[in-house]
Amino acid sequence: MSAAAEAAAAGRRLLLPLALAQFICSFAGSNMNVMITDITADLDTTVEGVQACITLFLLVMAILMIPCSKLTDRWGRKRCFIAGLVLYGIGALLSAISPGLGVLILGNSILEGVGTALLIPPVYILATLHFHDLTSRARAFGVISGMGGIGAAAGPLIGGVITTWISWRAAFVFQAAIVALIVLFSRRLVDPIPADPDRPFDAFGAILSGVGMFFVVLGILQADSNAARMVVLLLAGAAFLAWFFLYIRARERAGRDALLSTRLFKNRTSNLALVTQNVQWLVLMGTSFTVSVYLQTVRGYNAIETGVIFTAATVGVLVSSLAAERLAKRHPQRTLVMAGFLITAAGIGVLLGLVGASSRVVACAPGLLLIGLGIGVMLTPSVNIVQSSFPEQQQGEISGLSRSVSNLGSSFGTAIAGTILVSDLASGNGTYVAAMIFLAVLALVGLGAATLLPRGAAGASGAGEVAGSPASLETAVVPR
């Protein structure tokens, strides 16, 4: 075998466990959407209870993603990856045998959420460190992000099939089985940078940021039940996040290691790309939850019928993700992100128009297909712009921030769109239309952020501002 063939085979062996890990974590965030009626009946709970469980899972990931990304430097990337997988698997098995909502929240929201926060930062850090040139890195991010999008889009379909044919509990056993397979494939993973056990860890900063994000999302969930409490929680969350920013800035000025470097927020290109990442996942997860709940509670569809409908979105994400490398060579990444938001917004419009005019199942397909295509087109460029805007020594920090922003978007999508929807399900189409219009507006906000990205060389200016090194600048140039 030639050296090139051996290198390609080694790259595939590295990507397989990383991509599968992103797939199963994204799958976990959306597959419960089609189990809502089954879980509520089996555990004697409510739609709001299951919504809180899903949102809390996404929120735990968002809260812990930055602290866990810092721990990768202290404990080692491979060790964190394996530990996260093991914790995730335990949580999945506990969820499968849960007798009530409380145990389900412990297994799914807490243990799986913490496990995901441990294992996801190493996925992107290892991909960045192992793939040095832009073409191979774009391919790696395309595979990983594409599998994430496919996991989120296919979650309802796979979860619906398993729930209908076996039980909703079997879906968690499926997750544990995939995790065991990933652990097996991870034996040959190599961490190119040794762990630094003496590296300081900013625990107080982690607490401040976590509490702030928790209060913000909890406040959103209170929107339909207690407006005063919502305002108090949102203000408390904003206060903690402001305290966090002032705290880490003071630590940096004192020459001490902070949880997150404020320099990351001085990169305009990266900031804009982070906004697009947040909105992408907000729209994807918000659409998945809204459409799933609407079809089950208003239209009366069962789990498999709801899941089959999402096949269109899965196909869309798969097709556009597979074309990611080809698209990256032909178009600037800014153009791809803009096109993705336009296609997604159009898909939401089609979904609203056709579902409102027809009660047939196929009415959902065109809109979901367009949403899947749009999301798939822009997932990889946004990640690549962010990661390539910083040098290798900052990959741990920016990877954690990037994943935290994305998962916070997922949490916002389920919390906000879900809260709008469940506020008055008895009204039929009314709250569904309101939730989808909100998501369409957010897609246009994402489009606005994408138009502000630098023309031509996405990330080049950011790399110059923060890294200032030829190597970092080289990885930031957009392929033509």
420 Cβ partners below 8 Å, 6+ apart?
Answer: 223, 224, 431, 434, 435, 438
DSSP string, 142-200: HHHHHHHHHHHHHHHHHHHHHHHHT-HHHHHHHHHHHHHHHHHHGGG---SS---TT--
Q: How far apart are CA 306 and CA 387, in angstroms?
A: 36
Q: What percent of the chain clears pLDDT 70, i.e. is strictly above it?
A: 86
Q: How far apart are CA 382 and CA 405, in angstroms?
A: 12
Q: Can you state the percent helix, strand and coil of the chain, rounding each to 5?
A: 85, 0, 15
**DSSP state letter for 133:** S
Tokens read off for 242:
């402001």
For residue 47, the tally of other CB atoms under 10 A from its CB is: 18
Q: Which residue has the higher pLDDT, 28 or 87?
A: 87
Range scoring the smallest mean pLDDT among 98-107, 321-330, 393-402, 469-478: 469-478
**DSSP state letter for 97:** T
Dump pLDDT digits (tens) for 208-244.
Answer: 988 988 888 888 777 666 678 888 989 999 999 999 9
Tokens read off for 16:
């397989």
CB 431 within 8 A of CB 422: yes
Highest mean pLDDT among 54-63, 90-99, 136-145, 289-298: 90-99
Q: Residue 346 in 3-state DSSP?
A: helix
State the chain's mean pLDDT as an integer: 81
The pLDDT score that the predictor gives to residue 169 is 94
129 Cβ partners below 8 Å, 6+ apart?
Answer: 192, 193, 392, 395
Q: How far apart are CA 314 and CA 147, in angstroms?
A: 10
Q: How far apart are CA 19 and CA 37, in angstroms?
A: 31
Q: How far apart are CA 13 and CA 303, in angstroms?
A: 35
Handedness of CA 311, 273, 116, 418 (dihedral sign): negative
Tokens read off for 396:
């741990």
From residue 437, give the alpha-carbon distance in Å to each of 201, 279, 448. 42, 14, 17
Q: How far apart are CA 198 and CA 336, in angstroms?
A: 42
218 Cβ partners below 8 Å, 6+ apart?
Answer: 233, 237
Query: What is the signed CA dihedral for 38, 43, 45, 50, rounded to 10 degrees?
Result: -60
Q: Residue 441 in 3-state DSSP?
A: helix
Q: How far apart are CA 281 and CA 22, in angstroms?
A: 14
The answer on pLDDT for 5 being more than 70 is no
Range scoring the smallest mean pLDDT among 163-177, 289-303, 376-390, 457-471: 457-471
Give the residue-averaged pLDDT of 302-308.
Answer: 79
The answer on pLDDT for 447 being more than 50 is yes
Dump pLDDT digits (tens) for 339-364.
Answer: 999 999 999 998 888 766 666 666 77
Residue 359: burial class (beta carbons within 10 Å; 0-12, 13-18, 19+): exposed
Q: How far apart are CA 383 and CA 388, in angstroms?
A: 8
Q: Residue 78 in 3-state DSSP?
A: helix
Tokens read off for 265:
């927020």
The pLDDT score that the predictor gives to residue 471 is 28
Q: How far apart are CA 207 and CA 189, in angstroms?
A: 31
- Of 409, 279, 272, nearest to 344 by C-alpha is 279
- Of 100, 96, 158, nearest to 303 by C-alpha is 158
